[in-house]
Amino acid sequence: MFSWIQRMADWLVFDVFHLNPEMHLAKALNFFFYDSVKILLLLFVVVFAMGIVNSYFPIDKVRNYLSRNKLYGLEYLMASLFGVVTPFCSCSSVPLFIGFVKGGIPLGVTFAFLVTSPLVNEVAIGLFLGLFGLKTTLIYVLSGVLLGTISGSILQRLKLERHLTPWVKEVLANAQREQEAFLLEKQPFGKRLPVIWREVLDILKGVTPYVLVGIAIGGLMHGYVPDGFFERYLSKDNPFAVPVATILAVPMYSNAAGILPVVQVLVAKGVPLGTAIAFMMGVVGLSLPEAMLLKKVMTLKLIGIFFGVVTLCIIFSGYLFNFIL
Amino acid sequence: MSRLIKVLGTGCPKCQQLTALVEEVVSENQLDAKIEKVEEIADIMKYNVMTTPALVVDEQVKLKGRIPAKSELLEMLKA
């Protein structure tokens, strides 16, 4: 499917630039061109597809669905699945949180959504497809959904409502399962398309520089780091690799776009995939800026518990992948 | 009659972008409007928005979670 991109990269590097295919520089450049074109293309397709889904499936509908229907335990899975199709920027996490709580949605279900949504988003999926292929992407998406579902259920069992900040408790006390009226945009596809299109361009414009830098760094490592280099430190037999990778990743901020191309090279050079995915999830799913924002609605203790449970789940899934893959 | 335009947002880059765009459109078209920034989360929640930035014109939520095109924004501010 992508061989034409490879031919293009070969032609550019070997014929146009006249570089010797045996040279490190030539290999690195070739890798850079091939990966950039392929990844940006896939990113475009995925972001566009998700944009269409999101246009018909806005967050208000999600909230109303969750607060209206009794789902007998499935609500955690549903919230987590909704998290996949609804992107939100981290600065929306507080309004989202309050909006959900106000609609009478249990705290654990809200958490399920909050965990999965940043973890499995259009940019991460597009990059995963381009870098790791379909199978690994599916594993990543599935594990992101399960992670949200499981952490949400655990957090609900812990009865954390008392650790919310006072004004949120007040909101909670007045919560009601009602259908909030919302801006219904009944528009034909032709009218939605320009809006979706602009969003797609905005997202791509935002992430492209990071992707290119990430691929450039990846390309350099690809050409210069010997195969199996990381295996010495981060092999499957090292029991500390997964927790250390995850804990290092949590304070790092979410640039899935910049970090994924580098992670791919790490995997190619011998880091086990489970360890790499755990690292990825730590970077994308949890971050200090997010914790700062959540301070408005949660006490520090609750943020600590939330991050702790999610971190443990990530570590567990890292081990699991190393074991089954 | 002067309009009251409110930009709801907790101060993220996108919210600042929307504020700047609103200011631009208002001054370019010499609209009679007062622009207000609402940054306090409790106040934002009164408008039932879950994604920021949001645009409120005369207490009516016109837009949430995204930045509109200039022409679209002008329509909203004029109508």
- pLDDT profile of chain A (325 residues), mean per 10: 83 82 79 86 90 80 78 85 77 80 86 87 86 88 91 90 84 64 64 82 85 82 70 73 83 70 81 86 80 84 91 90 81
Q: Which residue is catalytic, options B5, B7, B8, B15?
A: B15
Contact A287, A252 (CB under 8 A): yes
Reported as a single tens digit per residue, the pLDDT across B26-60 is 888 888 888 888 888 778 877 878 777 888 888 88
- Looking at the 3D structure of chain B, how many domains does it have? 1
- Taking the C-alpha atoms of residue A37 and residue A31, their distance in angstroms, rounded to an integer, is 10
State whether residue B34 is helix, strand or coil: strand
pLDDT reported for residue A184 = 55
Nearest Cβ partner for B41 among A60, A94, A100: A94
Please list every residue in chain A whose beta carbon sits closer than 8 Å to the beta carbon of residue B51: 59, 88, 92, 95-96
- What residues contact A155, with CB distance under 8 A and at least 6 apart? A107, A108, A111, A305, A306, A309
Whats the size of chain B, residue-wise?
A: 79
Please list every residue in chain A whose beta carbon sits closer than 8 Å to the beta carbon of residue B52: 91-92, 95
- Taking the C-alpha atoms of residue A250 and residue A285, their distance in angstroms, rounded to an integer, is 8
Interface test with A, best of B15, B48, B50, B55 (most A CBs within 10 A): B50
Cβ neighbourhood burial of A264 (10 Å; 0-12, 13-18, 19+) = buried
pLDDT reported for residue A311 = 92
pLDDT reported for residue A149 = 93
What residue numbers bound the domain in which B59 lies?
3-78
What's B41's domain CATH number?
A: 3.40.30.10
pLDDT reported for residue A123 = 84
| Helices vs strands, H then E, count in chain B | 3, 4
Q: Where are the domains of chain A?
A: 21-175+187-324
Q: How far is A91 from chain B (nearest CA, A)?
A: 6
DSSP of A143-156: HHHHHHHHHHHHHH
pLDDT reported for residue A183 = 52
Q: Which residue is catalytic, options B12, B20, B41, B45?
A: B12
In angstroms, the first-to-last Cα distance of chain A is: 25
Structure ipTM: 0.74
- Tokens linked to A190: 């032709």
- Taking the C-alpha atoms of residue A201 and residue A285, their distance in angstroms, rounded to an integer, is 24
Which residue type is seen at A98?
A: I
Nearest to A106 by CA among A180, A164, A165: A164
B12 is catalytic: yes
Q: How far is A77 from chain B (nearest CA, A)?
A: 21
pLDDT reported for residue A233 = 67
B68 is catalytic: no
- What residues contact A7, with CB distance under 8 A and at least 6 apart? none
Reported as a single tens digit per residue, the pLDDT across B55-79 is 888 888 888 877 888 888 888 887 6
pLDDT reported for residue A179 = 47
